[in-house]
Amino acid sequence: MQRVCFLLKVRAERIEEYRERHQPVWAEMRAALTEAGWHNYSLFLREDGLLVGYLETPDFERARAAMDATEVNARWQAQMADFFEALDGQAPDAAMRPLTEVFHLV
């Protein structure tokens, strides 16, 4: 199982709305993530907008591609894109760059 951690930056003026939008994550989005192989997926948001994401998956590129192929993901990403800084024209999920793991306590 691959452990994946990534960072994104939520715009300071949108932090509260971003939190609110994640209270009722669409059931169809949650189901699509699970079916695509996103397990133990969590998002953590610091008060300055730093977003830390973590998930476990057998193959991150395959899991990301599976989500990219869904209609629900296209709708979700379109709605969430304006919340983030420095996406350089990419959807938030395409801007995820996994961090290199340097230590893991089993």
Cite the active site residues.
22
Residue 37 burial by CB count (10 A; 0-12/13-18/19+): exposed, middle or buried? Answer: buried
Give, as one character, the DSSP assignment of residue 99: P
Yes or no: say if 8 and 96 are a contact pair by the CB < 8 Å rule: yes
Q: What is the DSSP code string of 15-43?
A: HHHHHHHTTT--HHHHHHHHHHT-EEEEE
Yes or no: say if 98 and 42 are a contact pair by the CB < 8 Å rule: no
